[in-house]
Structure 1
Amino acid sequence: MSTTTELAQAALATLSLRPVEEQDKKQEEPYRYAHLLPHFSQDHYPPLTPFDHVDPGQRALSHANPRSFLDSASVVELTPNLGSEVRGVNLAELNADARDQLALEVARRGLVVFKDQQDFIDRGPEFYKTWGSYFGRLHIHPTSGHPEGYPEFHLVYRDANSTFNFEIDDSITTTVWHSDVSYELQPPGLTTFFLLSQPTTGGDTLFTSQVSTLKKLSPQFVAFLRTLKAVHSGVEQADFSRTGRRGGIVRREPVENVHPVVRRHPVTGEEALYVNRQFTRRIVGLKREESGSFLYPKSAPRSQLKTVSENILKFLYDHIDKSADNQARVKWQPNTVVLWDNRITAHSAIVDYKNSGERRHGARITPQAERPIGSEGLDLTS
């Protein structure tokens, strides 16, 4: 055997061993974000109480240049109607004026993706609390895991052996559009989310502009929707945890609240569709007899008749699902921080990485905002 052949074989052997050695080393290393793994405390909380919310974006409207915090940044629009990607801004170093401008930018674009944010991510939970509290009262999730000692942060987590997410297993798709905890009386506004660990591929997040989905509808139908309100419920999510899944904890009794089907943003004034498959249950005020029987033969069994409420919601859900021209997809890379406005966007995780066995670990900072604002004169008391 020639020396060249021997060297080649030795090199191949080294290459074949290297991945195993690197994998062993990786397994031996402690997980960098172990202090942020899901913890399920036994604490119980009373019902949330109303509070006055002042949106920081309102202050930015009076700034001479409401986008000056982006002056030195690279900004690429993900789609014409939704989403921007930003490089060259360190979120952790923004002062109060810049945070006001950030809130306004997120309200206008719906979704802003910031790259190269390791400084922000590594500052830890005390910093996260300060950051989130600037934009509103921090929400404590009633059922999800949180870092030990920090119930203010909602965690998503799945690895090869466990999942602590609100996931539906008996569906042909993992796509479930929602606006976070829309069942609360004062649901979230500006929301911050980042991954601490992500699979090699997959685990993307889809976003859709609820401003754009509304604009696609006919003016006559939008005028009708403005007169409607719907029940948003946290009961199913709580029942999911009561079965022992997702940590098996319900820290605050679930609530149902009535919100307008079309809500208005307090800063931009834009209207947005405000229903979602995960938490919206029914439209209020439509009588039982107002059924959709006109969609079926008169001989159809009563069990096949759907109420007007169900038909309207199904139409709107299908519209949200299928409107790819209103959507943007975030492909996660290390040190990415995403901000969106829950009042005017909906989103869905994509759980397409199950078979890889890789960890996906994310943290959400969720400030609450105002009670959703509907059309003038719309009664939201019931």
Structure 2
Amino acid sequence: MVFRDQSDFIDQGPQAYLEWGRHFGRLHIHPTSGHPKDCPEVHLVYKDANSTFNFEIQDSITTTLWHSDVSYELQPPGLTTFFLLSQPTTGGDTLFASQVSTLKKLSPTFVTFLRTLSAVHSGVVQANFSRSGKRGGIVRREPVEHIHPVVRRHPVTGEEALYVNRQFTRRILGLKREESDAILKFLYDHIDKGSDLQARVKWEPGTVVLWDNRVTAHSATVDYGDSKERRHGARITPQAERPIPAGDGLVLPN
């Protein structure tokens, strides 16, 4: 959901962001990110001509990196609120993809197979990236890895969603390495290239975006670097439940 003209909210500052986010649950503290003073729950995304807190893969031909935020946590985030405090004149859009829709595009036989699988999600690469002196050089705690279902079920809607992402998913359990790599590459390409399943948010002053991190993948587009302009964003997100496998029974109200 995209809300325009929300400067009144943004201008209130970090304490107001925390009050808003806590309405939805216990706020997540990012393990490798800078934050405003005394507000570790506010995750900052920052890039200007001289410094960056972004997770950028320098040896890649693209800055696009689809992911579900910190999916390596035991209880990854749910409802996420994100906005920019300053943005470049042009560029710096954010792309979003429905992981419910990406799953629905697949054949029923393949989905039945995916429901039986679990995958390892890891924060090690992100932590090592920060330890190398990038992203502010912050590592608050040792990185973790957790196993989550490849297809998860939303606890409220009951909808099934694909739950793998190029940034944090490392391997599918129970498969040979080549088998796991082949399936994950297919799924990553499906998420990346499914433009009919994606939305693109163009940032304007006062824009606030909310999404459900359990069923949504996203990627920033770092296409403004040559302009040397600042892109400064803040994110607040509560932790949600441990991902529920699609095969688990779930009784929904009529």
What TM-score do you get using the length of structure 2 for normalisation? 0.96
Letter in 2 for 1:354: G
Q: Does the CA contact (< 8 Å) of 2:100 and 2:159 recur in 1?
A: yes
Deviations 1:341-370 (A, max 9, x none): 001110000000000010100000011100
Greater Rg over alpha carbons, structure: 1
The runs of 4+ residues in structure 1 deviating greater than 2 Å are: 375-378
Work out the percentage of aligned pairs sharing the same amino acid.
80
Residue 377 of structure 1: CA displacement? 5.5
* Aligned twin of 1:314: 185
Does 2:79 align with 1:190? yes
Q: How many residues align?
A: 249
Letter in 2 for 1:358: E
Deviations 1:41-97 (A, max 9, x none): xxxxxxxxxxxxxxxxxxxxxxxxxxxxxxxxxxxxxxxxxxxxxxxxxxxxxxxxx
Mapping 1:1-382, distance limit 5 Å: 112-286=1-175, 288=176, 307-376=178-247
Letter in 1 for 2:187: L
Residue 376 of structure 1: CA displacement? 3.2
Partner SS, residue 80 of structure 2: strand
State the superposition RMSD in angstroms: 1.1
Larger RCO (alpha carbons 8 Å, 6+ apart): 2
Larger strand proportion, structure 1 or 2? 2
Rounded to whole Å, the distance in 2 between the matches of 1:284 and 1:126 is 42
Residue 375 of structure 1: CA displacement? 2.7
Larger helix proportion, structure 1 or 2? 1
Deviations 1:2-58 (A, max 9, x none): xxxxxxxxxxxxxxxxxxxxxxxxxxxxxxxxxxxxxxxxxxxxxxxxxxxxxxxxx
Partner SS, residue 185 of structure 2: helix
Deviations 1:284-342 (A, max 9, x none): 122x4xxxxxxxxxxxxxxxxx6111111011001111110000000000000000000
Letter in 1 for 2:23: Y
Rounded to whole Å, the distance in 2 between the matches of 1:141 and 1:377 is 29
Letter in 1 for 2:216: T
What TM-score do you get using the length of structure 1 for normalisation? 0.64
What are structure 1's unaligned runs of at least 5 residues?
A: 1-111, 289-305
What are structure 2's unaligned runs of at least 5 residues?
A: 250-254
Rounded to whole Å, the distance in 2 between the matches of 1:162 and 1:254 is 23
Partner SS, residue 307 of structure 1: helix
User: Compared with structure 1, are the counterparts of its residues 377 and 285 closer, same or farther at alpha carbon in structure 2 (3 Å cutoff)?
Assistant: farther
* Aligned twin of 2:252: none
